[in-house]
Structures are given as structure tokens and as C-alpha cells.
Structure 1
């Protein structure tokens, strides 16, 4: 099975009175702990599966009379770019197909959402937001990569990375062996996705095992003892209920899946801590094969969640390590303020025992892009500003939210103090001089602040550079006379337009001009854009298999 858009059971709406008898929540658990590393498999086949709460408590919703525009901009016809093949999965709103890129032959998954099934403006917003969030999370190793979104009269199509390895729990059952060590490796991936989402201002709200697929059919083969090498290629695939959030923001709509929903979600007063609860439920299921909160009816499940009593006495818990049980207790704490953060979970001994603890408090995606940006020459920075202006709303939505969050006074420009405070809220531990270096790198026009265009250019993910139309448009911007070359005069004119003085035009051209003819042709321009050329930045990022490390200028970025 590949990427699927999963369905849901009968929708249920919850009135506030339904939960009025639960003013407080609590957690309790057994103290009878054991330890060991046992195979826990049989009951995984009975693990909770495909049961989703629909939004509740929202009152009357306006119904759409006919299909409406979702993306808000024109896109080329999907069939001009991709050939659709076999069906991979079926969901509530649409169907996922195999899609082959006509230009390259590369296989992808295409989720085609029927617009006639988007009955309310809220449904339309959900689809639009899902696309925006997938673009915003682009580049994370454990999040499925979006290739593009397209719209016609009847459907919205989301083309994304193809995952053919099947669902996580199906693979565990198929292998016939599972261990605590392997559970820790899987938990590290799942919580890593939660940490990445939270660091980028995204709350997932519907984590569940079936929303994680293995990339390839031969993933997780390991060595037969369940240990593997810790490099399971697991991808989060569904962001249909995800939302952007700001620190301290409270949400009230009841969404998620019954077995995994946090108590504060049921009580309509929650934030990103709810994702950690859900991940804790998944860890419990990984180790025992059954959910911690179970009942015959949906209301019974909610009662159990709100009561919060966790069973660590039944099999196989006497053979499970104290460390695993300690982590689960701390992930399933109520109230949410007492719960571990995603980063704290990743630093817990049970998670790091067979791996390496992360050395940064939050996913460094945007910070990495800022540092990478500082290593570029001025021509590339100007080109990125041109490209940023051509990106669609869904590609920019996440970064726009981050800019607004950092621009505390709403002036339309980020000052040094606002950048410092914003990075601190994102969990950065950069010192003041490093932050000043980033500020100078992003401030292309030397105004002393970072405006919206500069912020987008500095933080947009580099996968946008793969699109030929962006590169052509950026080259044409500089090649004023259409000669096919960027000359010294044209570069000087562009610098004036961007209020850039003392740039060193000849130095820029000599860096990029591979054939030494004193000008830049399109091939040289593309090579520059696709390779991290060191300009006059003070910080650069060298990417390794273990992540990204900060280095001084003068290294190479590849």
C-alpha cells in the first residue's frame, strides 16, 4: 500500500455539556514495574485503526452550493505533467493514485480531492492549509515531500513523494518480531516529526500509526533481531487536520482520532502539547499492542481518556523496562503544562539509549536556511528575492506566519531585537554575535532591518530552485536586454534596484563566470543557484549524514 488519504467513521458532534462533568483530569498508574526486552507482536493486529473524530462543537456551518476555487491561482492541467496509474488508496474526500512525471519518469503519489465533497468553507480551508503546511515542512527527512498542487473544475490534486513500504504497523506484524529497542527507534522518528512541526509553528492534531508509511518495500529489513541500524525510513503523510499556531494560542475545536485524542482536546482548551500526548499513546501501543485508553464505545473511550488511568500491570508490561514506562507516564501527564515537550522526549534516556540525543532544542530547518543564505553571494540573494515574489500563496503561508510572529510591532520589518527574541522563542541558543551575523546576511539592502521579501528569500527552502520556470524568470530579470548573458552593467542596475551599494560587481561575476568571458550565461547562473557558493557571508552550513553543523566562512557548501 502506498500513500493513502484515510477515511473516517461516522462524524460525531460534541456539545460542551457532554464534558461538563470533567472539570479536572488526572493520571494514575501502577508502581509494579519490571524490565526486559521482549517481543511484543500478537496484539498489534488488533491495534486501533482508521477511526477519526470529525470537528465538533462548532455550531451551524454554511454549506457551499457548488465547487469553489481552493488554491486561488491558476495551475497547469495535471495530465499535462503526470500520467495517473493504479489506485493506491481511498479516503473520505478523495483517492490517491500512482502518478508518473511525464518529463522524468519519476513515480509519485497523487491525492485527488473531489471538490464536490468539500461541503463547507471550513473544508476548503482545511485542504488549502494542508498544502501550505506540507510546503512549510519541506525538507524534513521524515515528512513526505510535496512536489506540487494542481486544481481543475472538479478536483484538487496534491502530488507528493511516493511511499511504497506500507503502513508501519502492517510491517511490524509482517516481520514477525518486534522489540523494545526497535520501538524506541520508531518513537524517535515519530516524536522527531512532532518536534519539527512545533518548531515551525505547526500543530499536527491527528498523529496515528497509519499516518506513517515506510518509504520503500525493503525499509526496516534490519538484521532479523528487531534492532536495525536506527535509520528506519518512515514518513509522516497526512496533515489534513494540522494548523499553524502561535506561542500561547489556545484551540477549541475537537479533532483527532478517539484512541489518540488528548483530554484537553475533549475539553476544548488545548495547544501543541496535545501532539505529545498522542505520541505517548502511540509509544504505549508500540510496546503493548493495545491502546492505553480503551472501551467498546466512542464515549467510553473519551471517559477513559479523561480519567487518565494507565495500565502497567497487565502483560506485557511486567517485562517492559522502567525507563519506557517512565517516558510514557511523562508523555501522558495531565494537565498539559506538566507534560514533556517533544524535545524533552527526544532527550529521555529510553529514546537516546540506542541513538544520539539531538544537540538543538528544536528542529533547525529555518535557522539552517538562514545560515545557508549567509554563505551566498549577493547575486544569488537578489535572485532568491525575485524567485520568492513568484511563489504561490500556499508555498509561502508558513513563512508568512513566522514573519508576522517575529515582527512584533507589525511594522513590516524585523529589527535585530525582534529577530533575537523570535529565534529564542523557536528554541535557538545562538549567541548575540551569531544572530547579528544572520541579520547582516539577510539584510540585503543594508537597511538595518529584514523586510518581508528579504525574510522569505533567506528562509525559503532550496527545493524551490528545482523549478525551471523560477530559474528562467530570475535570469530574465537580470538579463535586461534579453541577450542571454548577465553583464556588468546589468548587474549594476539590479544592485541599484535593490538598494545595494559597495557590492563588488567584478568579484561576483568572477565567482560565477566559469568560462572567464566577463559575463554570466544561463548555464553558469543555474550552476550558481543550485550550488552553495561562498560569498561574503560569515556563517555557512555543511550538510552531513548526521545533520548540519555550523562552520566559519571559507568552507564549501554542497
Structure 2
């Protein structure tokens, strides 16, 4: 259900109460015509949704004080949360009921709470303290993890080795083993679902998200396609799976930890699915020639496409590579791996900035056109678009977008997380829909970054343009962007390279659960029809 405890740079400055942000106005630019605040109250006639079976209470403010926003997930916003009695700092994930649009969404939240209560206390699983439910939201109070994401910690270290990857892998598989021992299948293991408890070098790595986990009994089979595309086991796509899928996902994480990219990669979801079904593992690219045979043997055992022959969690922990961690090579895996790990979070910042630029350069005619579209879609005239209005409106205006993709678009544009789009948020979404087909917009965005009009975005220009978006490690971030986008390796970004980045497919770290549920179910049926799912998997 999103990164529930992450603390981004600047979170401490966010303050306690949440107020609508005043829009920033840059010098010499026209005021933004889209920054209109509307009444966001819930209609009194709306039926009351009950999510939790036995919450701790109704009023979270009686015991806890909510402070700065720490992060956002697909359904929830996480706040710093202070116990009024003890002063202890915790995290509170507040899940808006407006975001729970289907019975499946409600059941996910309900089951997440039940599973976190069911699992015994474990040093590598975040502890759920209390649960509250009021008319508007469900609040999950849990321990605060302030040490940052797994990949960020790796990148921050000067020296990254096979031994470090082994320590992380052992922790992740110990969590899997504990879950399986207590009849829980995680189903969504991925790096961003693990955070460090604090900033100390010795900090524990903790699993923070059980939003897609389920209870299972020995021999029980599941058919629902869930998870994040790049971490899905072949049998999930075949819609016949059990707890072995968690070992596969942990094997994908291990592969990424050792080389910096996923083992099964493609630009399209169909390509990803077919790569997973083929299950061919590449051990040729850098740094694999430097990686030990023991490590590669474990990767093969965890990524065996046959779940019956795949290693169990216990067999993984008994593997010589994890049994002899002190003997694992302490040789640096190289800057390439660290750079790859860092690029994942970097690219989104660059793309979002470019989208903002495009929005600011809309012509008067385009702005009027978008305003007209918004008013026609707003069927109940409350100056907000809910999911159904957006879905119907997009179809009516000729955008034949599957429901799953409409939901992804809505969640991406819904900046304040209230489950509806105001006019300003709709403008951003409209720009996103138009940008792919309109090179004029891309040229305007490119020109914004190309300040000396040389025909290239150079390092200094990128650094200046992204100054507000970059944290302390800004030089590493800038270099990572250049490395990723600059495909001809001339040290600068051409228009064609910029356009290719803007048109590239889904970031494999951030695909939403609804995406995998609906898109991959239909894709599974398609692959079944064309025979892809019947093919023999080879390694």
C-alpha cells in the first residue's frame, strides 16, 4: 500500500496541519490560471463505508498528533505521528476512503491489518501499533522507519560489494520464511517495500507493506494476478500459483542487487511478460563476470521457472552463499551498479519537471479547450472529477483507455490525494495525455532546459533547471540522468534523446497494483490464446 514510513528530504519542513499550498509564481511569468481551490467536502448523503473489523478507536487525535507528511502511496498518505503520552515518534498511514473504489480495495486494507496483527513480532517486519477508522479515512499507526529505502542506502555507501548484497538477501528471505511458516504469502516483494529503521550503519531492514498479502493453506492455489510486473513469477501470469512466488520475487531483488537492473526487462508489458515466461537469465553483462559462482548458483535456484524445482525459503537460507557470508567476495561491484540503482528514482523527477514546463506553455486555445473538456466531464457540477466522471469523459472524448490505466492516470494527477481531480490537477493529466502525440510541446519543454539554445541540454543547464528538485547528492543525480538519457554518450542530451525519455514505458519500480491486476490479467489471457504461456521455459 505504498511506502508507509519513508522520510524524503525536506519532510520535516512540512509542518503539522495540512493547508492547501499557495502556487509558486516564477518571476516574469503569467499567473497560473489553473490554481483554483474548490470545496472538497464529502456530500452528506454518501453512505458510510466500514473497513476495519476491530479498530483501536475512532478518533486518532485522542492519542496521537499527526505532523509532517512523510510520503505517498497508491492509497495512503503517511504522516509523522507522535504519541501524546510518551512523545514517541511513529508513522501513520492514512488511507482515504474515497480511494477505496472497489470491494477488492477495501478487502486489501482489511486483510493487511489482519495479517500484520497475525504475524509475530519480528526484527525485520514493521510493527503495527494501533488502527483507527473515522468517516473519511483508515489510519494505521506503526513504527517509524527513518533510514530510507534499500537502494538509496546502497547508493549512499562508497563501497558496494557482493557481501553487502548477501546480507540484504538473507534478511529478505528470513522475512519470507517467517511469513510462510505462519501461513502468509506476501505476493508483492520489491525493493521499495523495505526500509531501514534508522540512519545508523547497523540499522535493521524492515518489510513495511503487506497490502497484497494473503493467508494460505498448504497446497492451496491462487489465480488472481497481483504484484509488480517485473517481480512476478511465471506461474502468476499462468494464474496458478502458491507461496513459491515469494522466493522468485526475492530472486529478482537479488539479481538487481548484484547488477543494478531487473533480469526480465522490456519496454512493453507484453515484452516483460514474455521475458518472464522465457526465464532466460543474462549472466554476461557487467558486473556478472566478477560475481562469484555461488551467488549465480543461488540466483538460478531462486529463478527456476518450475515452482516445484525452485528453492524454498529454507533452502535459500541454507545455500552456501548465505551460510558463508563472511567468505562472500568483498570486492567492489563497481560504480555501474550503484549508478543503475540510483537512476530509478531520478528519472521521475526529470520527467515531472518537463511535464510542468509543458503545462505552463499551453496556448490560450489549448487552455480553453481543456477548460471546456473539464466542464463537460464534470457531470454533477461540483468542480471536481471523480473516477467515474473521468473514465466516462475520457471515453467520450476519444481516449479509449482501459479502466486500470484511467486509475493510474488519476492517481498520478491527484496531487492532494483526496480521490478527485480539481481543474489544476486535470490540466496536468490532459498535458500528459497530449504530450506523446504533440512534438511541439516536447520542443517547448526541451527549449526550457536548453537555455543557451545550443540544440543540446548540457550538464550545467540540467543542474540549473532542476535545482529545486535535487537533494544533497545532486551531482550524482545529474550524472545519473545524463548517463541514462544520453544514449550516444557525447555528454549531453539531444532533442531525440529527450523525446525518447519522455515517451519511454512504465518505470518498473512504480507500477501500481491495479495496473498488474487488470492489465496483466487481460495480457495473460492474450498470451494464453497465442500459445506463449504453453511454451517451455529454459534457463
TM-score norm. by structure 1 comes to 0.50
Q: How does 1:48-447 map to 2 (within 5 A)?
A: 66-73=47-54, 75-220=57-202, 232-354=203-325
Deviation at 1:355, TM superposition (A): 6.3
Q: Is the Cα–Cα contact under 8 Å of residues 4 and 90 in structure 1 kept in the other structure?
A: no
Query: Residue deviations 1:415-467, cap 9 Å, x none?
Result: xxxxxxxxxxxxxxxxxxxxxxxxxxxxxxxxxxxxxxxxxxxxxxxxxxxxx
SS at match of 1:85: strand
Deviation at 1:335, TM superposition (A): 1.2
SS at match of 2:79: strand
Q: Is the Cα–Cα contact under 8 Å of residues 5 and 92 in structure 1 kept in the other structure?
A: no
Query: Residue deviations 1:475-520, cap 9 Å, x none?
Result: xxxxxxxxxxxxxxxxxxxxxxxxxxxxxxxxxxxxxxxxxxxxxx
Take 1:297 and 1:149, find their aligned partners in 2: how far apart are those partners?
Answer: 39
Q: Is the Cα–Cα contact under 8 Å of residues 60 and 132 in structure 2 kept in the other structure?
A: yes
Deviation at 1:354, TM superposition (A): 2.3
Q: Aligned pair count?
A: 288
Take 1:202 and 1:355, find their aligned partners in 2: how far apart are those partners?
Answer: 31
Deviation at 1:71, TM superposition (A): 1.2
Take 1:96 and 1:326, find their aligned partners in 2: how far apart are those partners?
Answer: 39
Deviation at 1:177, TM superposition (A): 1.7
SS at match of 2:308: helix
- 1:3 aligns to what? 4
Deviation at 1:285, TM superposition (A): 0.5
Take 1:189 and 1:279, find their aligned partners in 2: how far apart are those partners?
Answer: 10
SS at match of 2:325: coil
Whose helix fraction is larger, Structure 1's or Structure 2's? Answer: 2
Query: Residue deviations 1:193-233, cap 9 Å, x none?
Result: 0000000000000000010000001234xxxxxxxxxxx51
Whose strand fraction is larger, Structure 1's or Structure 2's? Answer: 1
Take 2:233 and 2:3, find their aligned partners in 1: how far apart are those partners?
Answer: 28
Runs of 4+ in structure 1 off by over 2 angstroms are 1-6
SS at match of 1:238: coil
- Between structure 1 and structure 2, the one with the greater Rg is 1
Take 1:117 and 1:66, find their aligned partners in 2: how far apart are those partners?
Answer: 15
Take 2:81 and 2:326, find their aligned partners in 1: how far apart are those partners?
Answer: 36
Take 1:276 and 1:2, find their aligned partners in 2: how far apart are those partners?
Answer: 21
Take 2:115 and 2:124, find their aligned partners in 1: how far apart are those partners?
Answer: 14
